[in-house]
Amino acid sequence: MSANATQHTLLPQELIRLKRDNQSLPAEEIKAFVQGIADDRISDAQIGAFTMAVFLNGMSREEVVALTTATRDSGHVMQWSDLNLPGPIVDKHSTGGVGDLVSLVLGPWVAACGAFVPMISGRGLGHTGGTLDKLESIPGYDPYPAPERFREVVKSTGVAIIGQTGDLAPADKRIYGVRDVTATVESIPLITASILGKKLASGLDALVMDVKVGSGAFMPTPEKSRELAKSIANVATQAGTPTTALLTDMSQPLAPCAGNAVEIVETLALLRGDRPNSRVMQVTRELAVEMLIAGKLAGSREEALTQLEKALTSGAAAEVFARMVRELGGPSDFMERSEHYLAKAEVIKPVYAEQSGVVQRIDTRAVGMSVVELGGGRLRNDASVDHSVGFTDIVEIGEHVDSQRPIAMVHARSEAAAERAAEQLRAAFTIGEGTASADTLLQDTFRGEAL
């Protein structure tokens, strides 16, 4: 059977053979194969063979668009037109990192400017913190509301940050599970289709992507991060959702904290406007500008910045966050009395470097894994999370540390756990003489090209 035969669907093994032999796959055949995955008609062995063939031979842009749209359409695709929302449906996705609490600030901030943000977020993965784990620090917060409730909260509040339900892009769940155990995770086409299949099922008008680069990034090299950013921007745009990807620095924790409850504390401070020029706020602001422009809520960067400043200083962004928490089951007075609700660690103590000097480099991945070992993340999918543990007051590259200035404060459940984490943290920091400076925070911007 030739690759062009579309009068009836290829057998799965024929499609696998074509990709094994580095042939291009017709879009209709990709769609049928992915639907077979969602329907359990394709076996794990066949998924594994397919993903390995893609890993080894790659895919054309057209093939990745077909794989992405097929993944998106393998389950429920949200529709918003019946709600007659008076603004655009926009969202953001990050490849993840350490101290990356951007979503928690960005969603409410952009919603306060007139956008609607149905944000489907995930749990922690490897060394990266999960937005859902952070939100679950808030007593009563329900990250899995019924679909209609989710729509109601988006309409009434402007933003709802929840977890992925089983009916959104179900094919991706199976493909990802197989990739994880067949050494095919690091394929740019498969990563692109996985990320976008889930995101585009949210029925978005526009998407902004935050792709990390540096020692805490998901991708192993700056070149791979750049390749992924371009791929996501172009594939999503060609799949019908205009998308911009920003390449941002993750050579050190983005916020001065890493954990769950501690990042919620920082989120509230940022929403109150306490640290408008911090690194995390600079990244959040850039993403917010792109979302407002993409959603046609602002005609220029200057106009977007003016709107964002007003939403922050007026307290509107903080009020949207408070309303979202309340609408999804959290305390009605959370903004005012967060310290009453958030779990606190048994042991909180400073971590000092073994020598005085200037922070030259940070192994950000190691910092994230130390939070996981403290109990703030998962070594296994079914593990529970200790929301109270983590690090605060983490110093930045270029800062001086000595016997008076610790590299961080550790929050742990016991003295022994605190000491182990302190050792790991010291090993993650390179201290030396002379000045040092961090990499550029915003490294590049890629705007998707339509076909």
* Total residue count of the chain as it appears in this document: 451
Q: Which of 121, 194, 215, 338 is catalytic?
A: 194
Q: What is the DSSP letter of 328?
A: T
| Structure token digits, residue 399 | 């800062």
Half-sphere exposure of 40 (CA within 13 A, CB side): 0
Report how far residue 355's alpha carbon sits from residue 365's, in angstroms, rounded to the nearest whole number.
22
Quickly list H helices, 201-258.
Answer: 222-238
Q: Which of 94, 103, 192, 284 is catalytic?
A: 94
194 catalytically annotated? yes
92 catalytically annotated? yes
| Structure token digits, residue 118 | 């149905």
Report how far residue 390's alpha carbon sits from residue 134's, in angstroms, rounded to the nearest whole number.
11
212 catalytically annotated? no
| Residue in this structure with the two tokens 């050792």, named with its chain if needed | 423
| Structure token digits, residue 61 | 């842009």
224 catalytically annotated? no
179 catalytically annotated? yes
How many other CB atoms are found less than 10 A from the CB of residue 156?
A: 11
| Structure token digits, residue 20 | 């094994």
Q: Which of 19, 68, 74, 91 is catalytic?
A: 91
192 catalytically annotated? no
388 catalytically annotated? no
Q: Which of 19, 72, 92, 411 is catalytic?
A: 92
248 catalytically annotated? no
Report how far residue 7's alpha carbon sits from residue 3's, in angstroms, rounded to the nearest whole number.
11
| Residue in this structure with the two tokens 């949207």, named with its chain if needed | 320
93 catalytically annotated? yes
Q: Which of 19, 31, 72, 93 is catalytic?
A: 93
Report how far residue 1's alpha carbon sits from residue 29's, in angstroms, rounded to the nearest whole number.
13
Handedness of CA 60, 199, 99, 210 (dihedral sign): positive
Contact 35, 171 (CB under 8 A): yes
Which amino acid would we find at residue 379?
L
Q: Which of 131, 184, 243, 244 is catalytic?
A: 131
Q: Name 203's Cβ contacts closer than 8 Å, sequence gap at least 6.
A: 77, 78, 79, 80, 89, 118
| Structure token digits, residue 260 | 């769950």
Q: Which of 72, 127, 199, 212 is catalytic?
A: 199
How many other CB atoms are found less than 10 A from the CB of residue 432?
A: 12
| Residue in this structure with the two tokens 């030259």, named with its chain if needed | 360
How many other CB atoms are found less than 10 A from the CB of residue 98?
A: 30
> What is the longest distance spanned by two Cα atoms in the chain?
74
- As annotated, the active-site residues are 91-94, 131, 179, 194, 198-199
